[in-house]
Structure 1
């Protein structure tokens, strides 16, 4: 598949760029506490430069040593001590053929360090940023505003001195400038508050400050949110007018995103949100300006990105988490290897929940070596072995591919369709990202020509001439605890796709309101004419150790999809006409034509590891066969285990 539009050169101001792909400035958390870069920072961005992107934007970089820094491990451009490292970084990016950009920011009320001082337009509170130490944002004085305006200009001059090709002002996503732009957070009554003209004053002053300190031919970008999606927030009409003014003040490109951290599902959208969800906004900006517009927001696939350029919707595309998942995304797309791209599944598990939110550097569910580039090569094994992999789910598929790449002769045992638990996403309109991961993992096994035996592996088969064994048989579904009788269709979550035609237009009861139950109910709700009832014995949906973005948003989306939720309803039996439930000591029948048992998974009861140990066959159990977990656990276990065999 060709992506001709995506790989046309483009110009921003006087800057020529080899293609239309911009690496979005995702935070990595790899810098020193003083804001200087580390070898990890360098290696990460060098890899991105070599991966084929046209412009690599370095993550948001703080502009002063007062209140601008937002998060641990953040780069700085606040003083001269930062310039040498930034210059090193810019050179490493350009060495791979990409152009290098630096984004500048003031944290505003999103000072995730949780420490004073926290400065904003007003004292508009957001508990997430304040929880660590109870620090609330203080409204900035006009003298402090003037200082920040000056700091942005001085930081831009340092970016120019470091020989970056472009500098960007971050005026979106809930940081300081957005705190002024949005009526939701700006309650001031002076010349920086009130109407749109006053609220955008600080940004225009910052742009003028930058333009006064760098040559006119040095390109300037502004990243902004088309709206913050708050009911009382930024309107698209204000944003369009702002973009016109930015062009008049010397801005060379608009980088259009959306949302802010308090509404994170609009900013770093999860798998259940639409792709390219801010398109409606940037398409209103583009005809209003003559400078290029960069589209941003869940543009995770080259198919989506190329269509945006081909249709004239935007001039460039900003690709963020997808290049954390696979920094070779652009080069693989350019050379017709798009099925080899490791797809971002927008889970926010590795990058945010287990990464930055855990005070670590950024991580990735599908790329275990992000920000550890070059340190853990797969390499060739000292001796080729005959290795069996039992299980064709995500852990087994990934392990088989890595083992093959290490030079081993691999046999993969899987009695059913390859993909395991990922197969439930096939055909779903809101689980496209998971379906893409399944397609990629299966493709990687197939293109390597790995032998697949359509059979369940038992101890005898695994001991038949194999030097080592990887057990990736998954975890069994938790069974329904009561009696099951009658003629009602009773299936599991993974059976929905196969029974889609049967379920359409019928009433379906989903037993279980955990993550598995809720996502299954949403999958069923997609089927035309189907009514869905979720039965949960507890007092809330999605409890336990789940990605909190899912836990916060999925129940709302489930109700929006038209599903009925019955909390405090314990399913006791499945009968001819539905599910017998008990609530507050009273029994009743929830009528349903079909019942889906979605009670999660339980620890594996397989004895294969013990049997192989007794037979003297080295065996390693990975993924949910070892411990029920998420996709992150399966992919990481496969990588770290297979590279040692």
Structure 2
């Protein structure tokens, strides 16, 4: 497939860009604690440039030493001493042929550090940050506003001196400038509150301050949220007028995204939200301005990104997490090799939950090397071995591909269809990102020198074949029901619910963990169903879940018309339905189909133990090691396969 529109040259202000693909700002938390640039930061951005992207927008960068720093190990441009490190990084990126811009920001009420002072338009607090240390925002004084305006101007001048190609002001996603723009967070009664003209005043002043500090030919971008999606927040009509004003004040490009951190389903859209959620908004901005518009937000697939450019929906596309998943996204798309792209699955597990949220640097579920570029290369082996991979799920598929790349002779044993427990995603819109990952993993094996054996491998077979090493990737067995199920009941395991065999009528899903909730969503989108989820705990998603799923997935279940009953213990399933005990009484929930989403239990170690006893090198990966998520499958496969 050709993606020619994506790879037409573009231009922002005076800067020529080799294609229409931008790397959107993602916090990496790889800078030094004083905001200076580290080797890890340089390696990360250089690797992105090598991947063929046209323009890299660096992660949000603080502008002053007071309250603008929002997160641990965030880079700064608040002092003269910051220029040298950024200049080093700029030169490294320019050597790849990519352009690079610096995004300037003030954390406002979204100061994830939680430490005083937190400065915002008003004292309106975000409970997530307030819970960290009990600090609530202090409304900025007019004098402090003047200082912040000057700080943005001074930071932009430093960016110019560091030889960035452009500079961007972050005026979206719930940070300080958005705190002023949105009535939801701005209750001021002075010249910076109330009317739209007042609420936009600080941003216009910042733009004017930057234009006064840097040459006119130095391009200026502003990133906006088309709306914050709050009922009392920023209306799209104001955003459109704001963009007109920004152009009149010398802004060269609008970078359009959406949402804020309290509504993460819009800012960092998860798998259960649609792709390109802000398209409707930037398509209202584009005809109102004559400068380019960058579309941003879950544009993970090249066919989608190309269509946006080809249709004139936006002038550039901005991809964030997609290029954490695969820094070669642009190069592979340009060559028409989209199945080679490691797709972002929008799980927010590696980048946020196990990464930044834990005080670590950014990570990625499907790319263990992100923020560690060059540290874990896949190198040719010095000793070619005969390696058996037992299991064709995500862990086994990734392991087989890596082992083949290293030069080993690989046999992959799988008696069923390749893809394992992720096969349920195929054909489902709500799970399209996981389906893309399955297609990619299978493609990577089928296009390598891997022998796929359609059989179940026993320890005796493996010993007899003379293998040198075995990767056990057999997954974890499904947990069995601890209640009776009558033979005549139409009962199916959640992992076997597929779009190509849609369910109908009344469907009861037993189990309100992630498996049960995602299955309920998939069934609801089939149409012609009434879906009920039964969970014996007092709330859904009580396991070791990604918190963004816990916070937002129930809302999407509700929107899809899925009924949820918590505190409901299942006693039996019979021809009449599911017998449920709740509040000291028993009742029957009628069902035409019962779906069992009871999770998984630990796998047996018998195969690994028998092989080890025979002196064979064994590595247990994925859920065969411990029931987990896609992150665990990919990461254990990656690191184990480097050791064989």
TM-score of the two chains, using structure 2 as the length reference: 0.99
**How far 1:527 sits from its partner (Å)?**
1.4
Cα distance in 2 for partners of 1:480, 1:109 equals 47
Cα distance in 1 for partners of 2:121, 2:585 equals 54
Matches within 5 A, 1:322-333: 322-333=322-333
Matches within 5 A, 1:425-504: 425-463=425-463, 464-497=465-498, 500-501=501-502, 503-504=503-504
The structure-2 alpha-carbon separation of the partners of 1:47 and 1:208, relative to structure 1 and needing over 3 Å to count, comes to: same
Matches within 5 A, 1:155-304: 155-304=155-304
Cα distance in 2 for partners of 1:29, 1:286 equals 33
* Deviations 1:269-307, CA, capped at 9 Å, x for gaps: 100001000000000000000000000000111111000
Partner of 1:507: 506
SS in 2 for 1:114: coil
User: What number of residue pairs does the alignment pair up?
Assistant: 643
**How far 1:584 sits from its partner (Å)?**
2.7
Determine if contact 2:428/2:499 at 8 Å carries over to the other structure: no
Partner of 1:553: 552
Partner of 1:538: 537
TM-score of the two chains, using structure 1 as the length reference: 0.99
Partner of 2:79: 79
SS in 2 for 1:526: helix
Stretch moving more, 460-469 or 226-235: 460-469
The structure-2 alpha-carbon separation of the partners of 1:276 and 1:231, relative to structure 1 and needing over 3 Å to count, comes to: same
What is the root-mean-square deviation of aligned Cα atoms in Å?
A: 1.0
**How far 1:132 sits from its partner (Å)?**
2.2
Matches within 5 A, 1:320-469: 320-463=320-463, 464-469=465-470
Cα distance in 1 for partners of 2:572, 2:130 equals 47
Cα distance in 2 for partners of 1:370, 1:90 equals 19
Determine if contact 2:427/2:500 at 8 Å carries over to the other structure: no
SS in 2 for 1:183: coil
**How far 1:582 sits from its partner (Å)?**
1.8
Cα distance in 2 for partners of 1:559, 1:186 equals 30
SS in 1 for 2:471: strand
Cα distance in 2 for partners of 1:130, 1:555 equals 24
**How far 1:508 sits from its partner (Å)?**
1.2
SS in 1 for 2:488: coil
Structure 1: where are the runs of 5+ without partners?
Answer: none
Partner of 1:88: 88
Determine if contact 1:500/1:527 at 8 Å carries over to the other structure: no
Partner of 1:103: 103
Cα distance in 1 for partners of 2:636, 2:472 equals 11
Partner of 1:318: 318
* Deviations 1:168-225, CA, capped at 9 Å, x for gaps: 0000001110010000111100001000000000000000000000000000000010
**How far 1:152 sits from its partner (Å)?**
0.3
Cα distance in 1 for partners of 2:485, 2:370 equals 47
Cα distance in 2 for partners of 1:348, 1:427 equals 22
Structure 2: where are the runs of 5+ without partners?
Answer: none
The answer as to 2:127 corresponding to 1:122 is: no
**How far 1:131 sits from its partner (Å)?**
2.2
**How far 1:619 sits from its partner (Å)?**
0.9
Cα distance in 2 for partners of 1:560, 1:58 equals 36
Determine if contact 1:510/1:596 at 8 Å carries over to the other structure: yes
* Deviations 1:390-433, CA, capped at 9 Å, x for gaps: 01111000000000011001000111110011101111111100
SS in 1 for 2:100: strand
SS in 1 for 2:91: helix
Moved over 6 A (4+): none
Cα distance in 2 for partners of 1:556, 1:269 equals 14
* Deviations 1:330-372, CA, capped at 9 Å, x for gaps: 0000112111000000000000000001000000000001011
SS in 2 for 1:500: coil
SS in 1 for 2:132: coil
**How far 1:231 sits from its partner (Å)?**
0.6
Determine if contact 1:157/1:210 at 8 Å carries over to the other structure: yes
Determine if contact 2:404/2:449 at 8 Å carries over to the other structure: no
Cα distance in 2 for partners of 1:221, 1:629 equals 41
Determine if contact 1:166/1:220 at 8 Å carries over to the other structure: yes
Cα distance in 2 for partners of 1:584, 1:265 equals 34
Determine if contact 1:15/1:219 at 8 Å carries over to the other structure: yes
**How far 1:526 sits from its partner (Å)?**
1.3
Cα distance in 1 for partners of 2:337, 2:197 equals 48
Partner of 2:616: 617
Stretch moving more, 448-457 or 16-25: 448-457
**How far 1:465 sits from its partner (Å)?**
1.3
Stretch moving more, 554-563 or 379-388: 554-563
Cα distance in 2 for partners of 1:418, 1:111 equals 44
Determine if contact 1:492/1:597 at 8 Å carries over to the other structure: yes
Partner of 2:519: 520
SS in 1 for 2:60: strand
SS in 1 for 2:229: coil
Cα distance in 2 for partners of 1:326, 1:536 equals 37
**How far 1:606 sits from its partner (Å)?**
4.3
Determine if contact 1:223/1:255 at 8 Å carries over to the other structure: yes
Cα distance in 2 for partners of 1:21, 1:200 equals 29
Determine if contact 2:395/2:621 at 8 Å carries over to the other structure: yes
Partner of 1:594: 593
Matches within 5 A, 1:19-34: 19-34=19-34
Partner of 1:583: 582
Cα distance in 2 for partners of 1:333, 1:559 equals 37
Determine if contact 1:152/1:209 at 8 Å carries over to the other structure: yes
Cα distance in 2 for partners of 1:107, 1:508 equals 46
The answer as to 2:137 corresponding to 1:145 is: no
Cα distance in 2 for partners of 1:428, 1:498 equals 6
Cα distance in 2 for partners of 1:625, 1:498 equals 27
**How far 1:115 sits from its partner (Å)?**
1.1
SS in 2 for 1:131: helix
**How far 1:453 sits from its partner (Å)?**
0.9
Cα distance in 2 for partners of 1:46, 1:211 equals 29
Determine if contact 1:14/1:217 at 8 Å carries over to the other structure: yes
Cα distance in 2 for partners of 1:67, 1:564 equals 44
**How far 1:498 sits from its partner (Å)?**
6.7
**How far 1:499 sits from its partner (Å)?**
6.7
